[in-house]
Every structure is written in structure tokens, then in C-alpha cells.
Structure 1
Amino acid sequence: MSAGFGAAVVVARTRRVKTLPQVPPRRHRFRYEQRASDGTARESGPRHLLPGRHSTATHVTARVPFAQPLSDTLGTVYGDRVPLTARRWLRESFGVRSGAVRWGAVALLVRPLYIATEYVVAAATTGGYSFVSDSVSRLGEVGCTAAYCSPRHELMNGSFIVFGVLLAVGALLLRRSLGPWVTGLLVISGMSSTATGLAPLDQDATLHAIAATPLFVAQPVALIVLGARLRGVRPRMAGALLVAGVVTASAAAAFVLSGDGSAAGALERLALWPVLIGLAAFAWTQLDPDGRSVQRSSSADGGALTTR
């Protein structure tokens, strides 16, 4: 009987001590033993006596590929034996993610390319365009005048739509890590961005403002909620997200209040660009080769997080 599963259970009954046979929990019935340097491990069921029987359990052996020696990854638990099933151990130790999570992370990782789109479109404008004083929406204006024209307006409006869809889809695919509130806020933001691309500023200014407003409200709140969610797991990233949320919220409010002021373009970009970087940084952690992911626990408070 393996000593790795703890000491025998001792039950005292009427001044008599009775030693019961050891039966390890079901989750402990697998162990890993390091094989030679061929990059494989053996999953084997420990032999133990069942209650009331004198036979041993079936010994199961399977070859499971892994990336590095167990001792370098998880240390030693019961010697070189780790009490985790093969699938769970590989997922938690080496960050094996589902395809949905990987694609969700990629969707958020590519969104900072939106910044490059602004520069490409602005480079083709005529009449002068300022990133400090002119709003982003001017790059998507369809009409041209002698004073100003944006020939690549289709690219700008298309980027609003594409990157908005990426935001919504990425949030949905990462919903387990983001949580329901952050996921909902980011989906609303993505839909708002998409609607903004479908309603250019010079075609209907009122409709354009209605379509863009949720984006400036939901994104800062999403960063703040996500930062609060990550405080116990990734404190540095949580702090950065909280700061970014406060900055973007302040910039969005200042942009609305400034109207067409001399710093309108700078304030609008300060309200938008940090969100792209912050969410991309979070998405990168979901592809972390160390395998540490954020999951919501099933505790009563409904919001506790654990690293896995």
C-alpha cells in the first residue's frame, strides 16, 4: 500500500482502535512518473486494497506527452507523483487552451492595429488633419470639400466595423476569464463601434453620436471592473487596468465637454487607445505558456478568482 496517500485512518470505538484499509480519493488514483528523456510520462493507477477485499485494483498504464520534466514544473508531490488526471494536469501545467480561448485572445491582440489604420487614413487626407484637434470621426467622413477630404474614409469606417466585431467576438470567447459584467460591457462596446462605422459623421451627426456614446461609456467601466476582478490574481495588471479605466473615463468626459475644442482629438484618443493596449495585454496572459489562467470560483460570493 502506498504511503503517499497519507497515514491510515484510525477510528476509536469503545476504547478499541481499528485500522481501516486505505482507499485514496478518486482524484488521486492517477500519478505521474518521470520517464527517460524521451518527453513522455507514464500515467499509472496505484495498487491499493479495496475495503473488504484482498485483491488489488487494476493497474492502468498510458503514455502521455509533456513538455518538460515534472520536477522542473510542479516540484515533487508524493515524490515524483502528481495527484492530477492527465487532461487536467496538462491543461493547468502547460497552458493548453481550448481553440475558442486562443482565438478570443488573438482577436483582442490584433486590435491595437487600429491605431495604424488611423495613421494610414490620415496620411491621405487633404486640407490638413490634426491628431490633437480633429476627432477620429472626421477620418470617416464620406463627403469632400475644398477645405477637407478623406479619400480613405471607407478604410476608416471599415476599421470601426471590423475592430468592433473583433472586440465583441473576443470578449465572448474569453467570457470565462473576463466574467459576465466585463463580457457584456465589451460586447456593447463592440456593437457601438460597429454602428459608428455604419453611420459616418457627415451623413447623420446625431445618429453618429448615438452610436458612439456607448463605446465611450462601456469601455472605461469594463477596464475598471476587470482590474478589480484581477486584483487578487495579477495585482500589477489589475493596477494598470484600474488606472487605464480612470484615465479613459476622465478623457471621455473631457472630450464630450470640450466639443470641437483645440484638444478634442487628443482627448478622444486618450479615451480609446489605452483600452486597446490594456485588453491586448490581458489577452496575452491567456496565451501565457506558464498556463496560469483566471477562472471564477463557484463560491457563494460569485466573484472570487483563482489561478489555474
Structure 2
Amino acid sequence: MQQMSNSSFPTEFLLLTLADTRELQLLYFGLFLGIYLAALLGNSLILTAVACNRHLHTPMYFFLLNLALIDMGSISTTVPKAMANYFWDIRIISYASCVTQVFFFVAFVTAEFSLLIIMAYDRYIAICKPLHYRTIMDSRTCVNMAAAVWGSGFLNAVLQTANTFSLPFCQGNALDQFFCEIPQILKLTCSDTYLREVQLLVVCACLFFVCFVFLVLSYVQIFRSVLRIPSQQGRHKAFSTCLPHLAVVSLFLTTVTFAYLKPPSIFSSSLNLLLAVLYSVVPPAVNPLIYSMRNQEMKDAVWKMMMWIFFQYS
């Protein structure tokens, strides 16, 4: 491990190695490559299906298109570098690359969380106030909401990255994670500045909790309205648009919350790694599958597009 004096800045960081043998490193490379390609393919299909199918030019699918873009950006921020490290048997990431990775990861995670809240609001309006849906969720409002999602993500990324990398490092340069993550970087900073940064994270956690309460209340109202729908077909259609989003929200929130707010007493490198994979690698790969499995419109659009591609190039 590179040694550094107090109040100095490293020129590089050492990422966590997942395996000691070459065979296991190549196995991890293959697993990450498979997940990465699945995420790119699935989200690309969602993007193309929404863009090319006029029936999907609605607020719900507009936000789903943005979610696909965010997922592609999120997984592309962390996984390619990890794959390169496993393939070439290295651990090093430069200081500039680490800063860039933190910035974009925070931006995409913040944007995804904001977008999931807006998607819950969209479903709330569609199901609880259907007569006012087109008035409330018009095209201008949707574009403004999407701009707010991306803007909040990059604004939070600027603040978090600047605060984190302005701190002096005096605890070495080895990170206990396969990518540059703020909680692991904070462990390398000096104790007094670390405490001040923890205060900022606590504020973020409080905002996170408020948004979580909003999500819960929205879905309580949604399910109450769905259960009042007289026809079984109507209830099924309403559930088919809500359950995929609820599944994505649950996977994302539970893993992120536990990863960042778990007690120090249950610290474990293996647990940290598992949680990081669950909230940074798995969601971008499974989100397209979740949305296409329960949503018949999306399933039909993706299937028609795949058949068109097949016949075009066969």
C-alpha cells in the first residue's frame, strides 16, 4: 500500500481485489461482462422501443426511457473498470479516474432515486386522478421533471465530489470496494474532517427518508384506488404498471439504505461487496426485465422490434 504523510493527496488508489487466483479473476471478469452486456442490451431495447413506438409516447414510458439512460450510465461508470482490473490483474485506479467515477456514480444514483419518486407520482396521478392526468402530466411538465432529475443528480454529484476530495488523506490509499465509493474514500481521510463529512451524509439520509415516506404514502393511495376498480381487467392493468416500478424501487432502496446506514458492528468486506453489486450492478441489468415481464404494452413493443430486426438482417 502506498504510504502518505498527513494532509497529503494520493496519486492513485488501490481497489479491492475479489480473488487471489487467476482463474477466479477471469471468472469474475466473465460474470461482470455478462451482466454488463445484458444491461446494455436490455436498456437499449427499452430505449429503442419507446422511441420508435408511437403508442409508448406517454409520460410513463418517457420516464422509463430516462431510467434506461440512467441505468446504462450507472453501470458503465463502475463495471468496465472492474472488468479491466480483473482481466489485466491490476488494482490501481488513478486519482483523476477515481474522482470521475465518484462524480458520475453519485450523479446517476441521485438521478435514479429522483426519477423513481417522479415515476411514483406519475402512477399516483394516473390511477388516483385519471380525469386530470393529461392536464397535470402534460409534455412540458414531463420535460421539466426530467430536467430536474438530471439537474439534481449532477448538482449533488458536484457537491459530494468536491466535499469528499477536498479532504486531506492520511490513512493510506487502499479502498475496500471494487470501485471508488464515497464511504470507502472517507475512511482514508483524517478523523476531524471525516466527522464533518459524516454530518453531510446524515443530512442526505434525512432527505432520503422524507422521499421514502412520500413513496410509501403514494403507493398506499395507489393500492387503495386500484382495489376500488370494479373490473378485474382494470385492476390487472393498473397492477401491471405499478408492480414493476414497486419492485425496482424496493430493490434499489433496500440495498442502498442498508449499505449506507448499516451499523459499524456488522462491517464485512464480503457484505460490502455483495451490497455494492446489488445496488450498483444488478438493478441496471434486471430493470428492463422487470418492466417488460409485467407490462404487456412494453413486452409487445420489444417483441415486435426484435422480430423486425431479425427479419431485417436474416
- TM-score, normalising length: structure 1: 0.38
Higher relative contact order (CA 8 A, sep 6+): 2
Q: 1 or 2, which has the higher helix percentage?
A: 2
Q: 1 or 2, which has the higher strand percentage?
A: 1
- TM-score, normalising length: structure 2: 0.37
